[in-house]
Amino acid sequence: MSGNSFGKLFTVTTFGESHGIAIGGVVDGCPPGLEITEEDLQVDLDRRKPGTSRYTTARREDDEVQILSGVFEGKTTGTSIGLLIKNKDQRSQDYGNIKDRFRPGHADYTYDQKYGSRDYRGGGRSSARETAIRVAAGGIAKKYLKEVHGIEVLGYLSQLGPVTVDKVDHSVTNTNPFFCPDESKLDALDEYMRDLKKSGDSIGAKVSVVAKNVPVGLGEPVFDRLDAEIAHAMMGINAVKGVEIGDGFDVINQKGSEHRDTLTPEGFSSNHAGGVLGGISTGQDIEVHMALKPTSSISVPGKTINKDNEEIDIVTKGRHDPCVGIRAVPIAEAMLALVLMDHLLRHRAQNTGVLSTTKPIAGQA
């Protein structure tokens, strides 16, 4: 497979299938001296974990992460950090019936064609369950970014089907099961999701992430631009079909005189660029948006083929999110944190000095 690692200097490598023994990963490249506990990582894992509301899958997983190495007496040592989450609620028998058939919109067909066979239980490696480790690894990055540079990474739901978010109040995001930052839309979301669930169908969503207090200078042109790596990270999240930085697709019909962000002695006067120019962070907020397709596993009957290439009827049983976009919020935050962390280290490698935002870690030279 050889595609299970992300990052050049702050590297996350993951393993594990939806219904295997465990999922896990290795974080390599974390600087020494960072105070980190399993509880620190659990916060975001709990935000992502299934079974927390009636609008996400009914599968119940504690998603308790264990730190197996790389932390000694409460601090990172600079060595690789092993992470493990045991799988518990593996109702694999639900999946026996999809063994020989390919669910439309799923990775069943492509995995089968690529590898000659697949672990079909719960989607195996293609399941979003794998992203729990990304969230844990992202938690380490988030803590470092916050402690050493004061950087904050904040995600939220910006659209769900026809329901758009008009106002972003980050203090609202985590008070509701939709990660919606606009209190006035909670009732509409609730109603929409209730109807949707009844119908057995699913819906797409738009998720946004913003990073605040990012120092100017992160990103390595020309191929490893900050925005290019963000696009890689976000499009690598299950179900994502589009990624935007700043104004995104709106730029198609913008004039240059309208789009360019004026620099003033007090800073930029607007942020159409979304915090990146020439692939390098400008010091403004990094603004990222992404589109997530509706879940493919729905109970609306459909047609598909089986391994013998025969047409068959299909209704996906099992427990699925009617809108995968919702739980993608902490995943998107984690991925943005991983990109920023990696580029922070890469930037640091090139310069003899210390970034102006850096705060000392105890025990560091």
Facing residues of 66 across strands? 84
Q: Are 194 and 322 in contact (CB under 8 A)?
A: no
135 near a second copy (CB under 8 A): no
Q: Could you tell me the CA-to-CA distances from 342 to 15, 31, 109, 241, 331 in Å, in that order? A: 20, 11, 34, 24, 17
185 lies in the binding site for a second copy (CB under 8 A): no
User: For residue 75, which of 39, 44, 43, 31 has the smallest C-alpha distance?
Assistant: 31
Strands across the sheet containing 81-86: 5-6, 11-15, 22-28, 81-86, 65-67
Residue 246 is assigned to a ligand binding site? no
- Name residues contacting a second copy, limited to 302-361 (CB under 8 A): 302-305, 309-311, 345-356, 358, 360-361
The verdict on 173 binding a second copy (CB under 8 A) reads no
Touching a second copy, residues 111-130 (CB under 8 A): 111, 113-119, 124-126, 130
6 binds a second copy (CB under 8 A): yes
Give the count of alpha carbons within 13 A of 231, CB side only.
16
Asked if residue 222 has a cis previous peptide bond (ω within 30° of 0), the answer is yes
Nearest to 99 by CA among 360, 318, 354, 337: 318
Q: Is 127 annotated as a binding residue?
A: yes
Is 126 known as a binding-site position? yes
Which range touches a second copy (CB under 8 A), out of 3-11, 43-51, 172-180, 183-191? 3-11
Least CB distance to a second copy at residue 68 (A): 5
Q: Is 241 in the site for a second copy (CB under 8 A)?
A: yes
**Which residue among 191, 194, 254, 317 contacts a second copy (CB under 8 A)?**
254
225 binds a second copy (CB under 8 A): yes
The Cα–Cα gap between 85 and 62 comes to 9
Q: How far is the CB of 48 from a second copy (least distance, A)?
A: 15
Q: Is 92 in the site for a second copy (CB under 8 A)?
A: no
What residue numbers does the annotated binding site for FMN cover? 125-127, 238-239, 278, 293-297, 319
